[in-house]
Each structure stands twice: as structure tokens, then as C-alpha cells.
């Protein structure tokens, strides 16, 4: 707990071991894929081609190693993760990927191999979460190259491993946006299983990525543009292209890009839906902003100061909290909850909803 508040951190990351694929990927895929990971744990090569465009190794950064000394010294073990959660005041953490943000997300990886890699990753993550299954909750990597395989893997991960959500990248894979009707069986399966889907992004994908055309050699600008704008277009696909209103019990979250952008984007969609001439071709029967407020959620991050504005725009039920631990974007560790808990513009009831109740309800956490 942090003070009087229980805390679910919806944006925590495992830092996968470099030998994950050697240990967990089944044959014949292990030999065939030739998965190679460098010391950054992120830059990877699969089938002789890179799956990320990241440069540099943040784990070697002296400041990073000082901030996360315990995790680094224990090679990012689940035990070190749990110990840092105790220091932070986090009760439950949802485990998003690091290398898994890139591992299977390339059009040159065929559906069979992507499925095998997703199984390997999810089996590794299930083993990781077994260190304390009450506090560490898995989110399943889904091989979107095959919708049928994604459905199968979501069912397996929820049924066998107890995972609480499925993971989607925002970028188009095999030239499919998230509103492509081919994905309907996946959305139906998530609804049937009673688990949400979460969309996240990380700069440096080899898939089509917003900002890479203009800022290919400017990492600062590319990072500033990519993460948030990828969330915008993913939300546009799911909430303004007649997807989520066709599955009114399905929740979709947008994690890892903050939440302060949401009021503007909701108002932007509200402005244009049904408008002549710009909005008359929108396939939604219901206004996108209505569907977002009913079925969407976003994660506030420690450095954001606009929580009250976001709650005012979308309601108390659509916001959760996420830290980004242990990525380099978290210089306030282990005090990232302090500003939120001390925020005088929020009531205690609102803080309880953001820190625990909303995530507990959507992810089925007791």
C-alpha cells in the first residue's frame, strides 16, 4: 500500500533474460529462427533480420544502474521485482514485455514461428509470475500474424496460466489495422473469456511507425511523436470504426503513453463524428467518445499533472495508474506514487478508483 491506498500498477515491465528463447522456444523453431538478443535485451534478430531499430543499451547507463541497483544486481529476477514493489508501495503489478515489445512483431516472421515465439514468451512469463501469482499478473503476447493462433494463445494463456489480458501492438501487422474485420474472432474470444485487451507501443519497431518517416535520425523527436500518436490511431481504430460498439462488454486499455492526451482526443472525435463533411463516413452508430467512456481506459503516469482534467472529461471509471517500471523513463523511483497520493485536486474516492478499483474491476483482481 501507499499510505491508505492499495495500488495496482498496470504498466510494469519484465526485462527478459537474453536466453529466454534458447530456454523456452520449442524445436524445431529454436534452431530455425536463429533468435539473437544483444546486451540491451531489446535489439533482436529473428531469421537473420532485425525486429527492432533501437540503438544503445540503457542497462549500461550509470544513472540507470544506480536507480535500479537492486534489480540490476539480481538480473531483473521476479524476486527483485517484488522487492521493488514493496519499496514503492505497489500491491499488484501487471507485467508488460520489454523484448516482447519487438520479438514477434515483424511481417517477415511467419504465423507459425510467431505463434511458437508467443507460446515461449507466455510460458516464460507464467513461470516468472509464479514467484507470487497473487501480486504478479501476466498479459499474453498474441501472434497477430494469425488471428486463429491468437485466439488459441489467448485461451491457453488465460485458462492455463491465469493471465488477465491480451497484448496488442498499435502498429499494423501484415498490413492489418486493428479495426480489420479479420480480428473479430479475437475480440469475440476476449469478450467470452472476460478479459480486456491492452494496446501498447515502444519506439523502434520495424513495423510502420508514426514519426519514423520524418524523424528517422532524431530519436528525441521520434520518441515524442511515436508513443502517443500510435495510441491515438489505435483508439481511432477500435472506438471509431465500429469495433467496440459491436462488442459492448469488451474493455480495451491504452498503456504506456500517459493519459493527459485523452481529453483532447475525445473532444476531437466528438467534434467530427457525424459532422458534414468530415464525419459522415464514420461507421460508428454511437459517438466514439461515448464508447470510449463506456469501454476504454488509459493509464496515468507518475509525471503527469492533469489527472483531474482527464477524470472530468472521461469519468472516474476510465483511468488507471501505471509506472513504467523499470524503464529509464522513471527517474523518480521509488517515489513515483507520492505526487499522485498528495494531489489536492483529487478526492480520496477518486484516488482509490484510479489506484485500485478501476483496474481491479477490469482485470478481475481481488
Q: What is the pLDDT of residue 8?
A: 98
Domain borders along the chain are 8-15+77-363
Cα atoms in the Cβ-side hemisphere of radius 13 Å centred on 146: 17
Tens digit of pLDDT for each residue in 44-66? 888 888 888 766 688 888 999 99
Residue 305 contacts residue 342 (beta carbons within 8 Å): no
Decide: 104 and 171 in contact? Cβ < 8 Å. Answer: no
Residue reference for cell 475480440: 187
- pLDDT value, residue 270: 85
User: What does the pLDDT read at residue 55?
Assistant: 62
Short-list 84, 143, 57, CA closest to 325: 84
pLDDT band at 228 (very low <50, low <70, confident <90, very high): confident
Higher pLDDT, 275 or 230: 230
Find the length of the chain.
366
310-366 confidence digits (pLDDT tens): 999 999 999 999 999 998 877 789 999 999 999 999 999 999 999 999 999 999 999
What does the pLDDT look like over 5-16, one tens digit per residue? 999 999 999 999
Q: What pLDDT sits at residue 229?
A: 84
Bridging pattern class, strands 44-46 and 36-37: antiparallel
Query: Is the separation of the CB atoms in 335 and 341 below 8 Å?
Result: no
Q: Does domain 8-15+77-363 have CATH number 3.20.20.140?
A: yes
Query: Per residue in 95-141, pLDDT tens?
Result: 999 999 999 999 999 999 999 999 999 999 999 999 999 999 999 99
Q: Helix and strand tally (H, E) in the chain? A: 15, 11
Q: What is the pLDDT of residue 104?
A: 92
Amino acid at each position: 500500500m501507499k499510505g491508505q491506498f492499495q495500488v495496482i500498477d498496470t504498466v510494469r515491465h519484465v526485462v527478459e533474460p537474453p536466453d529466454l528463447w534458447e530456454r523456452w522456444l520449442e524445436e524445431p523453431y529454436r534452431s530455425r529462427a536463429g533468435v539473437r538478443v544483444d546486451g540491451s535485451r531489446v535489439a533482436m534478430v529473428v531469421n537473420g533480420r532485425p525486429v527492432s531499430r533501437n540503438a544503445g543499451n540503457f542497462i549500461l547507463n550509470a544513472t540507470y544502474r544506480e536507480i535500479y541497483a537492486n534489480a540490476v544486481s539480481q538480473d531483473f529476477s521476479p524476486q527483485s521485482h517484488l522487492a521493488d514493489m514493496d519499496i514503492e508501495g505497489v500491491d499488484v503489478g501487471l507485467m508488460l514485455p520489454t523484448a516482447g515489445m519487438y520479438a514477434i512483431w515483424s511481417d517477415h516472421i511467419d504465423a507459425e514461428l510467431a505463434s511458437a515465439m508467443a507460446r515461449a514468451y507466455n510460458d516464460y512469463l507464467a513461470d516468472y509470475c509464479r514467484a507470487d501469482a497473487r501480486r504478479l499478473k501476466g498479459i499474453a503476447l498474441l501472434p497477430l500474424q494469425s488471428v486463429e493462433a491468437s485466439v488459441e494463445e489467448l485461451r491457453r494463456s488465460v485458462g492455463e496460466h491465469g493471465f488477465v489480458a491480451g497484448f496488442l501492438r498499435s502498429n499494423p501487422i501484415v498490413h492489418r489495422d486493428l479495426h480489420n474485420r479479420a480480428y473479430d474472432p479475437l475480440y469475440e474470444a476476449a469478450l467470452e473469456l472476460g478479459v480486456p485487451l491492452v494496446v501498447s507501443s515502444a519506439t523502434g519497431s520495424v513495423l510502420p511507425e508514426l514519426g519514423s518517416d520524418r524523424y528517422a535520425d532524431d530519436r528525441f523527436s521520434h520518441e515524442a511523436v511515436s508513443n502517443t500518436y500510435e495510441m491515438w490511431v489505435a483508439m481511432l481504430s477500435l472506438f471509431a470504426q465500429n469495433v467496440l460498439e459491436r462488442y459492448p462488454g469488451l474493455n480495451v486499455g491504452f498503456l504506456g503513453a500517459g493519459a493527459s492526451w485523452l481529453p483532447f482526443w475525445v473532444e476531437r472525435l466528438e467534434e467530427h463524428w457525424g459532422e458534414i463533411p468530415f464525419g459522415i463516413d464514420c461507421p460508428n452508430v454511437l459517438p466514439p467518445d461515448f464508447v470510449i467512456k463506456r469501454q476504454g481506459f488509459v493509464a496515468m503516469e507518475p509525471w503527469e499533472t492533469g489527472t483531474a482534467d482527464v477524470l472530468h472529461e472521461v469519468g472516474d471509471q476510465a483511468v488507471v495508474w501505471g509506472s513504467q517500471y523499470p524503464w529509464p523513463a522513471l527517474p523518480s523511483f521509488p517515489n513515483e506514487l507520492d505526487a499522485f497520493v498528495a494531489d489536492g485536486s483529487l478526492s480520496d474516492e477518486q484516488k482509490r478508483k484510479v489506484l485500485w478499483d478501476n483496474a481491479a474491476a477490469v482485470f478481475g483482481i481481488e
